[in-house]
Each structure stands twice: as structure tokens, then as C-alpha cells.
Amino acid sequence: MVLLHWLGLIAGAMLGLIVSVLAAGALVTLIVTLRVGTKFPPLGPSVEVAGGRLATIQAGPNPSSRGTIVLLHGASANAADPMEGVGRRLAESGFRVIAFDRPGYGWSDRLGGRDMASPAAQGHAIAQAIEGIGTGRVILMGHSWAGALATAIALDHPEVVSGLVLVAPMAMPFPAMAPLPWYYRLALKPPVAWLLSCTVAAPLGLYYLERAGRAAFRPQEIPGDYLDRSRSALVLRPATMLANLEDLIGLPAALAAQAPRYGTIAVPTVIVSGDADAAVPATRHAEPLARTIPGARLVLLPGIGHMVPYMATDALVDAIERLAAEIGATETEPVAP
């Protein structure tokens, strides 16, 4: 009886400790969410689509005689990431540039909830937004995860695409995650994932944010102002963390479904990747993708890692300029309503 009594006390103490940790984490999460939202408010207009709104950051002339380039960001990011990396340079060159917060990121609504996790679903929303803005056909630039998104739009909505720029793209099929330990599988279940995202994920994410940035830039050094310029902390909010997790988990199946269709992509395409990219190796994605899309041109950058828009801006701008010249993007587009 004494042993059972002590076991009960220990179990109660452990439960109390867990509740205390979760409560403290929830408080920190609330503070982080409020501070991040205040520090990084929306920077541009939102576009109405089915189910909600998609936020944008826009730069460059409107209308533009050079046409419009739409920038799509990768995992854990938001519209400011590609805009600060290469978008403003393109705007200075006379392009109209529109960077979207993907559904569930930055200031965009998640729209369809978990159903919005696939590139195809997000592509439908982005295509609808492009049509709503009234730009006509655009050059799509997708970085990293958004390589899958840009190709999905070209496959399913070719009427809005004049050309593709795929930057360090994650677009070729790869194996799903290996069987996970039971505690990981438990953590990924929706109710548990929601609880963790609202309690401990933000404090842990805040601690690892700079480390994650450094890892993304390797072998180059992360610019000292990158985290602020790219508004990276927006990913720490619970809803965005959940969206990011759903997108990453669902990507292998989505790529397996869409990759067999890449041979039907009929728009001019350039693929730009670094040969030192450890996050999305060119040998697994950029190079085989270039062999799959008809007429695609591959620009392989020696010694450059994953963050091509920041570390090889000149080379990326040159590739986009050449693609735009091929397309003949010279028609003046209508002014957005």
C-alpha cells in the first residue's frame, strides 16, 4: 500500500509538471504570436479567393511593359523571403513583381485547412488569385518546396503561366519518411500536433530559428539581417507551424502523383540550382527535372547552396532575364482593379 501511495504521488507530480510546462509554453506562445504579428504586419494587399484571402507583397511598375513575375516561397517562409532575395532587383529592372504568402503562411488564410497541404490545392488558389489580380500570364518563380507548387500550376493552370523559373526546386519523387517511433507518430496526430503547436513548438522554434537559417544557407554564411528582412519569425505562430508540418508530410505523395506529368509542361522553363545544396540536392531534383521537362534549361551554380536568391542573385536575375526575352514578355498588362 505504501508503494502504491508513493507511485500515486510520483505520477501526480509528473502530471503536474507536464501541465505546468504546457501552461508555460502556451503563455510564451501567446507572447511570441502577439509580438511577431506586431513586428511583421502585412506589407501589401490581399486577394480574395475561394475560402478566404491570400496576402501579397508587391513591387515594381503597374502596369509594366516587361510583364509580371510571381514569386512563391518555400517551406517555413513567407512572401518576404523571395521578395527580399531577388524580387526587388527584378522590380528595379522594370518587372512587376508579386510575391504571395502561400495558404497558411505569412498573412494568408489556410483556406481549405488540411486539404490545402498539396501543391495542386495551393496551385488552384494561386491561379485563382493571379486571375483575380488581372495580370495576364505570368512568369512563375518557385523556390524549394514551391518548385512543386510552380510545376503544379503549370500542369493544372497553364492559362496563367508564360514561363517557369524553378530555383533549388523540390520537385522529383522521393521516399516518404521512414517508419517513425511511436512517440513521433503520436505527436503528428492532429489533436496532439495542435496541442504541441500551441504550447511548446513556438518556444523551441524561437530557440532554433537562427540555427535553421544558418543550415539553409550552408555552405555560405547567413546574412546578418536575413531573419528580419525575410520576416522568418512569422513561422513561429501555431497555425503556420501546423500548415508547414502538413505541407512537408504530404509532399512525397503529392510529387509521386504529379511527377509523371512533367513531360507535358509546355512553357519555357529554366532551373537554377547550386551544386553544393545539401537541403535539396541538385542531383536528386534539379538535374533529373531538367531532363524531364521538354526544353528546360539547367543553370548549375558551382559552390552555391540552397539559398540561391540571396547567394547568387546576379546569376538568378540573368537566368530570368534570358527567359523573359525568350517569352517576349513585352505586352503592357492592365492595371489591377
What are 197-242's pLDDT values in tens digits? 666 667 777 778 899 999 999 999 999 999 999 999 999 888 898 8
Q: Is the dihedral of CA 236, 84, 313, 142 positive or negative?
A: positive
What are 261-318's pLDDT values in tens digits? 999 999 999 999 999 999 999 999 999 999 999 999 999 999 999 999 999 999 999 9
pLDDT at 141 over 90: yes
Q: Please give the pLDDT value at position 36.
A: 82
The domain segmentation of the chain, as residue ranges, is 46-327
Distance (Å, rounded) from C-alpha 150 to C-alpha 138?
11
pLDDT at 18 over 60: no
Q: Please give the pLDDT value at position 2.
A: 46
Question: Lowest mean pLDDT: which of 54-63, 139-148, 243-252?
Answer: 243-252
The band of 54, judged by pLDDT with boundaries at 50, 70 and 90, is very high
Q: Under 8 Å CB-to-CB from 47, ≥6 apart: which residues?
A: 53, 54, 56, 129, 132, 133
Q: Please give the pLDDT value at position 197.
A: 64
Find the mean pLDDT for residues 159-173. Answer: 97
Which top CATH class is 46-327?
alpha beta
pLDDT at 330 over 80: no
Q: Please give the pLDDT value at position 328.
A: 85
The residue to which cell 497541404 is assigned: 117
Share of the chain above pLDDT 70, in %: 81
Dihedral pair phi/psi, residue 8, rounded to 5°: -65, -40
Q: At what angle do helices 201-217 and 190-197 cross, to 10 degrees?
A: 90
Q: Please give the pLDDT value at position 194.
A: 64
Per the model's pLDDT, the better-predicted residue between 290 and 9 turns out to be 290
Per-residue 3-state assignment (H helix, E strand, C coil) for the chain:
CHHHHHHHHHHHHHHHHHHHHHHHHHHHHHHHHHHHHHHCCCCCCEEEECCEEEEEEEECCCCCCCCEEEEECCCCCCCHHHHHHHHHHHHHCCCEEEEECCCCCCCCCCCCHHHHHCHHHHHHHHHHHHHHHCCCCEEEEEECCHHHHHHHHHHHCHHHEEEEEEECCCCCCCCCCCCCCHHHHHHHCHHHHHHHHCCCHHHHHHHHHHHHHHHHHCCCCCCCCHHHHCCHHHHHCHHHHHHHHHHHHHHHHHHHHHHHHHHHCCCCEEEEEECCCCCCCCCCCHHHHHHHCCCCEEEEECCCCCCHHHHCHHHHHHHHHHHHHHHCCCCCCCCCC
The band of 1, judged by pLDDT with boundaries at 50, 70 and 90, is low
Q: Please give the pLDDT value at position 60.
A: 96
pLDDT at 121 over 80: yes
Find the mean pLDDT for residues 72-91. Answer: 98
Q: Please give the pLDDT value at position 293.
A: 98
Question: Lowest mean pLDDT: which of 24-38, 67-81, 233-247?
Answer: 24-38
Mean pLDDT rounded to a whole number for the chain? 87
